[in-house]
Amino acid sequence: MTEPLPPQYDPSVIEGPLYRRWEAAGRFGPRQGAGDPYVVMMPPPNVTAQLHMGHGLNNTVQDALVRFERMRGRRTLWLPGTDHAGIATQNVVERLLAAESLTRFDVGRDAFVQRVWSYVGTTGATILEQLRAIGASCDWSRTYFTLDAGLSTAVREAFVRLHEKGLVYRGHYIINWCPRCLTALSNEEAEKEEVDGRLYHLHYPLAVGGHLTVATTRPETMLGDTGVAVHPDDERYRALVGTEVLLPLVDRRVPIVADDAVDPSFGTGAVKMTPAHDATDFEIGKRHGLAAIDIFTPEARVAETAPERFRGLDRFEARKRVVAELETLGLMERIEEHRHAVGHCYRCGTIVEPRLSDQWFVRMGPLARPALAAYRDGRLRFIPERRGEEYAQWLGGIRDWCISRQLWWGHRIPVWYCDDPACGRVSVSRTDLTACPGCGGGVRQDEDVLDTWFSSWLVPFSSLGWPDRTADLATYYPGETLVTAPEILFFWVARMVMAGIEFMGEIPFSTVYLHGTVRDTQHRKMSKSLGNGIDPLDVVDRYGADALRFTILSGMAVGTDLILDPGDLESSFAAGRNFANKLWNAGRFVLSNLSGPVRPLAGGAADVVDRDELTLADRWIMARCDDTVREATDAYERYRLNDAAAATYRFLWSDLADWYIEQIKPRLYGDVPGGDVARAVAVAVFDVALRLLHPVMPFVTETLWGRIPGRPADATIMLGPWPRPDARAADPAALRDFGAVQELIGAIRAIRAEYGVQPGHPVRAIVTAMPAATHRAIDAERGTILRLARVSALTFAPTEERVGGHAVLADGTTLFVPLGDAIDVTRECRRLGDEVARLGTLIDGQKRKLDNTQFTSRAPGDVVERERLKLQSWTEQHGTLAQKRELLGC
RNA sequence: GGGCGAAUAGCUCAGCUGGUUCAGAGCGCCUGCCUUACAAGCAGGAUGUCGGGGGUUCGAAUCCCUCUUCGCCCACCA
C-alpha cells in the first residue's frame, strides 16, 4: 500500500532518487526489440564546461524529443559525449599555470599535456553529471570523449583517407592567426565584427616624381609593403603601372602593378600591397611576383624584418608610431572615420592577424557538393526552414578548411617528416612512425594538432565505433534528428553532413532542428562575462527540473529565442512549478478516490465503459482528451514543443482539474450513482495526459503515473505506450453541449461577482430561451450547474422579474438571474450610491476643466483630447451604475 | 554591401501552409473567497489604435507595398 502524498509537491525529494532508479534500471539505453531506431547525437559540450542555460535549452529539447520517440516504441539512442575543445581547454590550463607564473613552454609539451589530462580527469565529467539533474535520458553507457582511443583512431583514419584522395594538403597561405592563443584559426573561428576604424590616406613618393595616395585601415602594415596595385583600366594610374614607389620609413623601392582585384571606386583606387598580412594582397602578390615580408612575430609584435626602431612594438603601438612618423614627414594626407568588419578570435576575442604560414588544409569543394545536393533534393531538412538557405549559401561559397593548430592539446597531426634532407619524405600514417618508410632514417612528427572540429565532425559514426564495422554502427547510423544552436551550423552541422557522406556514404541525420538562443530581457545573450546568466542547477534546486523544462519548452517557439529575466526567476519559472504542483494535487485527488469500485481499464478511456453509461461530462472529457492526444502528438512531430506543452497544460488544468474533477465529485462521494464510471474515466484520461506530458515534465509524470493502481512494479511511463487518437472518443456534440454548460455556469458566476452576491448565497437562474440541444445539455448537467454556480433553482420560462442580471450566451441562450433575494440590497445600493457620487464629483470637475477656454486653448491638443476621453469614460460608468441602481430598486 | 527574421496586454510570448475560434496564454495587477485535491489554489475582472502609413478585399494581426526600430547570417572595397 502506498502512503498518502503530501499536499505540496517537493521536486527535491522526487527527482534525484527517481533519476537514479531510471538509470539503475537501464531505462536510458535503446530498448530491446523490433522498433525503428531513433538516434540523436548530443552536441558534445566542452569537457571543461559548466552547465549553463544554453546547455539546458539544448538538452531539454533533445530529451523531450527522445522521450517522445522512446514512448512511441522506437529503439531510441541519445548518445552523449564531451569535446576536448582544443583551444578552450588549453587556455583554461594555461591560465592555471599563469597563476603559478608559468607558461606552457616552461613546463614543456609532454608535461603540459599531462596536466591537461589530469585537469580534464578531475573536472571532465562535471557537465555530464549536471545533465542528469535536468533529467537527460541519454545512454551513459556509450558516453565518448573526442580524445578517446577509439575516436582518435577515427580521426587518423579520416585524415589519412582524405590525404589519399588528395583532399588534405599542406599549403603556404594567409590564415587567421590569433596572437594571443598563438595558433591558426579557420575562417569560421575568426568572427567578423563591425568596428569603428579609420581609413588613412598615405602619400607614397613615386620614383618618377610626385606621389601616389593609397588608402588603408592598417597603416602599420606598410612596413611589409612590397608593391602598390591599381586597376588595369584606371586611367588615373595607367601611366604609372610598371614604375615604382619609394616606400617611406623603410626606404624600399616597390613596383606598381595592375590587377583586376582592385576596386577603383574605393579609397583612391590605389592599394598598398602587404602580401604577408592580407589575403587579397597575397593573391595579387602571387600573380605579380611580389615578395611577402612577414613583419610580425607570432605575438603580433614588429619583427626584425622591419626597421629597427619599430621592432618589438605591439601592432597597435606600431600603428601609432607609423602614423606619427608619416605625419612628421608630411605624408599623411588625411584620416577618415571608417566602419568595417574585423576578425576576432572566437575563443578569446583578440583581433586576428592575417598571417602567411604553412598549414594543413582540407579541400572542401568536393565534400561540399554532395552535402549541398542532400539539402537541395530534400534528404536533409532544417527547422526552421530558412536556416537551410544559410547552410546552402555557406556551402556554395565554401573555402578550404585550415585544420592545423599550433596547440599541444588535441589530436597530433599524423604526419612524419624524414630527418634526412636528402630524402625529405613526408609520410602520412595510420600508425605512429619511428623510421622513415623511404630511407629508414629518423623521422619527426608534425608538431601541430588538428582543429577540434576535425574530431567533432566525425562523431555521428566515430562514436559508434567507426572505422570498425561495429553492430552499433550498423544499427544506429544514420541518425535522424540533430538538435543544436545556429551558431555551430557551419562549425559542426554542415561538416558532419560532409563527413557522413564522405566516410559513410550517407548523411548522418535527416532533420536539423536549430533552436534559439537564451537571452536576457534586453535581448543580450546570456554569458558569464556579462553576468546575466541563470544557473539551471539553481533553478532545479529552487523549482525543480520539471519546472525548468516546462518554462524552457513552453517559452520557445520554433525559430525564436528564449528570453528570461535573470533578475526575476520567480516570474520565469513559477508557472512550471505551479503546474507541477497542480498536477500533483489533481493526481492526489484522483488516486485517493479510487477506493470505491473502478471499472477495469483496458486501453484508452473509450474501452472503459459502455457508451450509454457515460454522462455528458464523461463524453466531453474523453473527447477533449482525444483532441489533446491529436494536438500534442502533431505538435511533437512538428517540433512545436511549446504547442505540445500548452495543449497538455490546457487539458490537465483547464479541462480536467477545473471542470471534470469538479463535475465528478458527487459521483465519487456516492451522492449520486455512477462513481465507478467516473473513476474509470478520470483515471483513464489522467493516465493519457500524464503520458502526453512526460517528455516535458518527466519526473512528476512518472511519479504519479506509477501510483495508478494495477501497474506492474517495473512499469515505467518512459516506455509508454504513447497514446493513440481514438475515433470512438471523438464527440463534437459533447464538446459543444458541455461547452454551453460551462458558458452558462460562467455567466451565472460573473453575475454573482458583479453584483457582489455573497459566495455562499444561492441564487435562482431562469433560462428564457435556448436551442434544443442546449436545453438537453442543461438538463443533463443540471446538478453540475446547481453546484458549481451555487444555484438553488434552475427553471426554463419567461420571467417578469426585473431586479437581477442577465446574459446572452454564444448559442443565443438567454439567462436571467433574479437578485432581489440574493444580495443585500441596502448594502449594494449604498455601495453603488457612493460610487455614483464619487464619479459625479469627478465629472463635475472635469466638465469645468474642459469648459475653461484657458485650458482648452493653451494645452496641447492631445492632452485636451485625453481629458475629454476621461470625461466620456466616467460619464459612461456613471450611466451604467445608475442603471444598476434602478434595477435594484434603490 | 548582400540575404533573412522580428515588432501583438505592464513583462515574456502564441496566433502555423489557403484571409473566419480572433484579439489569446502565462506572469504581474484589481476584487472576493483558507468552498476537505491544490492559497504554488478557486471564482470574477481591467488593460491592446496587433510598430507607423498606404493598398488588395465584403472582410486584414494575418496577404501586398512602403517607412521606422531592433536582431541574425554572409562578405577579399584595402
Instruction: Choose the weakest-confidence range: A584-598, A636-650, A864-878.
Output: A864-878
The string of pLDDT tens digits covering residues A816-830 is 888 876 666 666 666
The reply to whether A557 Cβ lies less than 7 angstroms from strand B is yes
What grid cell was written down for A15?
A: 527527482
User: In the prediction, which pLDDT does A830 show?
Assistant: 64
Three-state SS annotation for A179-222: CCCCEEECCCCEEEEEEEEEEEEEEEEECCCCEEEEEECCHHHH
Split at pLDDT 50, 70, 90, the class of A811 is: confident
The mean pLDDT value for A33-43 works out to: 90
Minimum CA–C1' distance nucleotide for A752: B44
Residues A151 and A142: their CA atoms lie apart, in Å, by 13
The mean pLDDT value for A584-598 works out to: 82
The reply to whether A96 Cβ lies less than 7 angstroms from strand B is no
CB A460 within 8 A of CB A496: yes
The full length of chain A comes to 890
ipTM of this predicted structure: 0.92
The reply to whether A521 Cβ lies less than 7 angstroms from strand B is yes
The mean pLDDT value for A794-805 works out to: 80
The string of pLDDT tens digits covering residues A303-350 is 998 899 999 999 999 999 999 999 999 999 898 888 888 888 888 888
Q: In this model, does residue A530 exceed pLDDT 80?
A: no
What grid cell was written down for A560?
A: 525564436
Residues A297 and A282: their CA atoms lie apart, in Å, by 18
Question: With 0-12 CB in 10 A as exposed, 13-18 as middle and 19+ as buried, what is A510?
Answer: middle
Spell out which residues of A between 639 and 658 contact strand B, using CB within 7 Å. Answer: 640, 642-643, 646, 653, 657-658
Spell out which residues of A between 99 and 118 contact strand B, using CB within 7 Å. Answer: none
The string of pLDDT tens digits covering residues A830-873 is 666 666 765 666 666 667 666 766 666 666 555 566 566 656 65
Minimum CA–C1' distance nucleotide for A565: B12
Beta strands of A552-649 (E only): which ranges? 562-563
- Give this prediction's pTM: 0.89
User: In the prediction, which pLDDT does A204 show?
Assistant: 92
| ∠ CA A825-A829-A831, rounded to 5° | 120
Chain B nucleotides near the protein (CB, 7 A): 3-5, 11-16, 25-28, 31-33, 35, 37-45, 70-78
Instruction: Choose the weakest-confidence range: A145-154, A161-170, A244-253, A381-390.
Output: A381-390
The mean pLDDT value for A78-85 works out to: 94
Spell out which residues of A between 291 and 320 contact strand B, using CB within 7 Å. Answer: none
Q: In this model, does residue A286 exceed pLDDT 50?
A: yes
The reply to whether A10 Cβ lies less than 7 angstroms from strand B is yes
Question: With 0-12 CB in 10 A as exposed, 13-18 as middle and 19+ as buried, what is A733?
Answer: middle
Query: What residues contact residue A820 under an 8 Å CB cut-off, 6+ apart?
Result: A801, A803, A804, A888, A889
Q: Phi and psi for A807 in degrees, rounded to 5?
A: -150, 150
The string of pLDDT tens digits covering residues A47-72 is 988 888 889 999 999 999 999 999 99
Q: In this model, does residue A277 exceed pLDDT 60?
A: yes
Residues A659 and A738: their CA atoms lie apart, in Å, by 10
The reply to whether A376 Cβ lies less than 7 angstroms from strand B is no
The reply to whether A523 Cβ lies less than 7 angstroms from strand B is yes
CA A838 to chain centre: 53
| ∠ CA A147-A149-A153, rounded to 5° | 95
User: In the prediction, which pLDDT does A602 show?
Assistant: 43
> One-letter amino acid identity for A161?
R
Rg over alpha carbons for chain A, rounded to the nearest Å, is 37
The string of pLDDT tens digits covering residues A715-764 is 999 997 999 988 888 888 898 899 999 999 998 998 888 888 888 888 89
The residue with greater pLDDT, A246 or A612, is A246
B71 C1': nearest CA residue: A523
Split at pLDDT 50, 70, 90, the class of A601 is: very low
CB atoms closer than 10 angstroms to residue A246 = 14
The reply to whether A486 Cβ lies less than 7 angstroms from strand B is yes
Q: In this model, does residue A604 exceed pLDDT 70?
A: no
The mean pLDDT value for A158-186 works out to: 93
The mean pLDDT value for A250-263 works out to: 90
The string of pLDDT tens digits covering residues A405-428 is 999 999 999 999 999 998 989 999
- DSSP symbol at A748: H
Split at pLDDT 50, 70, 90, the class of A876 is: low
First to last CA, chain A: 61
The angle that helices A536-543 and A53-71 make with each other, rounded to 10 degrees, is: 60
**A753 CA to B22 C1' distance (Å):** 26
- DSSP symbol at A766: E
- Can you tell me which residue has the cell 459625479? A840
Q: Which residues of A373-388 are buried (b: 16+ CB within 10 A; e: fewer)?
A: ebbeeeebebbbeebb
Q: In this model, does residue A2 exceed pLDDT 60?
A: no
Residue A271, strand partner residues: A229
Mean pLDDT of chain A: 87
Q: Which of A806, A662, A823 is CA-nearest to residue A747?
A: A806
